[in-house]
């Protein structure tokens, strides 16, 4: 975990922002849009690959994988696990937008390794309604990558499952470690 102070968004003028974090993000977007040039590209990823990864803020996927704007589709969620909604996104990515490869990226020190399905029960007790989704918590990150690869490879909705590979990203070194689907 980083010990440095959190970074705060500031407007183009460099002056501190008043308001909420979202207000600061909208102001940053205005500065971005002022210099924006339409890249003139379509929605089909150039490399025909979809990346499924954890939403962890420590992972800069484009930088870590050497990707440019337009290279891939990116699907991020808690843990990078393959859920029904992930399959939905991958199905649209493959069938409507031409992707053929899927790379799955989990990481070291994932927050889902500290949760259990008790989280769902506690949430139900708090709000009075049981979530329709599973937490998808796990203890063994390698095994969870294998499970995610299996879910992609066996989905009847995905026509392209020959090039599916899974990795664990080390948040302290930035390196990917490939997971053998058979181990």
Residue 53 belongs to a domain: yes
Give the pLDDT of residue 2. 41
H/E stretch holding 28: helix 21-34
Please tell me whether 110 is known to bind a ligand: yes
Please tell me whether 23 is known to bind a ligand: no
Residue 51 belongs to a domain: yes
Residue 87 near residue 161, CB atoms below 8 Å: no
Residue 14 belongs to a domain: no
Instruction: Output the domain CATH number for residue 146.
Output: 3.40.1050.10
**Residue 168 pLDDT > 70:** yes
Tokens of 137: 């918590």
Residue 8 belongs to a domain: no
Identify the band that residue 179 occupies on the pLDDT scale cut at 50, 70 and 90: very high
Report how many domains make up the chain: 1
What mean pLDDT do residues 2-16 have?
52
Mean pLDDT, the chain, as a whole number? Answer: 92
Residue 140 belongs to a domain: yes
Domain extent, residue 175, equals 41-179
Residue 115: how many CB atoms within 10 A of its CB? 16
Burial of 24 (0-12, 13-18, 19+ CB in 10 A): middle
Residue 141 belongs to a domain: yes
Residue 128 belongs to a domain: yes
Please tell me whether 54 is known to bind a ligand: yes
Q: Name the strands in the sheet holding 176-179, side by side, starting at the edge strand that comes first in the sequence.
A: 72-77, 49-54, 101-107, 163-169, 176-179
Residue 173 belongs to a domain: yes
Identify the band that residue 108 occupies on the pLDDT scale cut at 50, 70 and 90: very high
Which residues share a beta bridge with 104?
52, 166
Please tell me whether 72 is known to bind a ligand: no
The CA distance from 165 to 179, in Å, is 8
pLDDT digits (tens, 9 = 90+) for 52-76: 999 999 999 999 999 999 999 999 9
């Amino acid at each position: 975990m980083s010990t440095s102070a959190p970074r705060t968004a500031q407007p183009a003028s460099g002056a501190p922002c008043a308001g909420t974090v979202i207000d600061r993000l909208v102001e940053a977007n205005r500065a971005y849009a002022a210099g924006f040039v339409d890249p003139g590209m379509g929605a089909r990823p150039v490399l025909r690959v979809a990346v499924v990864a954890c939403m962890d803020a420590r992972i800069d996927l484009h930088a870590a994988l050497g990707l440019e704007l337009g290279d891939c589709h990116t699907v991020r969620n808690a843990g990078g696990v393959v859920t029904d909604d992930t399959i939905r996104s991958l199905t649209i990515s493959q069938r409507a937008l031409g992707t053929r490869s899927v790379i799955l990226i989990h990481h070291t020190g994932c927050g889902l390794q500290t949760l259990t399905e008790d989280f769902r029960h506690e949430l139900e007790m708090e709000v009075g309604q049981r979530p329709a989704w599973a937490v998808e918590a796990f203890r063994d990150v390698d095994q969870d990558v294998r499970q995610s690869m299996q879910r992609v490879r066996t989905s009847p909705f995905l026509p392209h499952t020959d090039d599916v590979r899974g990795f664990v990203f080390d948040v302290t070194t930035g390196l990917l470690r490939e997971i053998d689907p058979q181990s």
